[in-house]
């Protein structure tokens, strides 16, 4: 696969990291959690149905709910492990593969949710309010929320990349940008587990954006217009 996938968004920019940290610490989980009932599944349903529901919602996991109470979570990772082990996901029930990470509370700050997602290496976390299931926090929700914050500065473009977690990848990217004359103004990295990829957002000066994108093309990076 190409060394990275880049999305050039010249109309958007990045907030500085110190401000980003302050902003997300002031926002509660209730503002970013997914509350759709469809983002849940029952313990007795199959892993195949869980996977299909994730596809429909474009999320990487679901909350497992029984009689309105939180029972666990199931993600693509747990389903993939079952398939790799040779189990038929059309027959295996969700209860047999789900995990039970400690739930978040609606009034927990978003930065706490991010820390838990990263430290526990989870893609999804349930939100429970006084024992009742309230919603789900996923990497997709966090990425969308952070991207909205990063878009506050519209004077300089940002580049979106999905980089393999391999030695030298980030250094190679920064070297290409430097050789193109681009000034890197700020950098944001999230580190989800799926496919060993990191989501990298780089803000560069607008004057060198076109040349930087051309240089990325020339060095094997795939730019999404």
Q: What is the 3-state secondary structure (H, E, C) of 152-183?
A: CCCCCCEEEEEEECCCCHHHHHHHHHHHCCCC
Domain count, the chain: 2
Q: What are phi and psi of 156, to 5 degrees?
A: -125, 145
Shared domain for 173 and 94, answered yes or no, is no
Give residue-wise pLDDT tens across range 111-141. 788 777 777 777 788 898 887 888 888 777 7
Give residue-wise pLDDT tens across range 53-95. 988 888 888 999 888 788 999 988 899 999 999 999 999 999 9
CATH number of the domain bearing residue 204: 3.30.70.260
* Pairwise CA distance, residues 221 & 161, whole Å: 9
Shared domain for 134 and 42, answered yes or no, is yes
Q: Quick check: 126 and 136 in contact, CB under 8 A?
A: yes
Orientation of helix 169-179 relative to helix 209-218, angle to 10°: 130
Range of the domain at 123: 28-138
Shared domain for 134 and 150, answered yes or no, is no
Among residues 138, 166, 187, the one where a domain terminates is 138
Shared domain for 81 and 171, answered yes or no, is no
Torsion of CA 43, 46, 49, 50, to 10 degrees: 50
Q: Which two tokens stand for residue 141?
A: 């929700």
pTM: 0.53
Shared domain for 111 and 129, answered yes or no, is yes
């Amino acid at each position: 696969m190409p060394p990275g996938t880049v999305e050039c968004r010249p109309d958007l920019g990045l907030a500085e990291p110190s401000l980003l940290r302050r902003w997300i610490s002031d926002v509660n989980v209730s503002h970013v959690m997914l509350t759709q009932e469809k983002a849940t599944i029952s313990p007795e349903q199959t892993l195949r149905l869980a996977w299909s529901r994730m596809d429909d919602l474009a999320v990487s996991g679901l909350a497992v709910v029984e009689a309105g109470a939180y029972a666990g979570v199931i993600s693509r990772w747990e389903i993939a492990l079952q398939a790799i082990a040779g189990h038929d996901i059309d027959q295996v029930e969700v209860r047999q593969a789900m995990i039970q990470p400690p739930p978040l509370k609606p009034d927990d700050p978003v930065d706490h949710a991010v820390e838990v997602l990263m430290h526990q290496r989870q893609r999804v976390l349930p939100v429970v309010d006084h024992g009742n299931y309230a919603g789900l926090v996923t990497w997709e929700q966090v990425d969308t929320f952070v991207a909205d914050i990063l878009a506050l500065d519209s004077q300089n473009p940002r580049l979106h990349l999905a980089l393999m977690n391999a030695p030298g990848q980030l250094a190679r990217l920064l070297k290409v940008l430097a050789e193109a004359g681009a000034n890197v103004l700020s950098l944001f990295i999230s580190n989800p587990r799926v496919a060993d990829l990191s989501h990298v957002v780089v803000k560069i000066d607008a004057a060198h954006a076109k040349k930087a994108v051309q240089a990325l093309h020339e060095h094997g990076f795939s730019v999404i217009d």
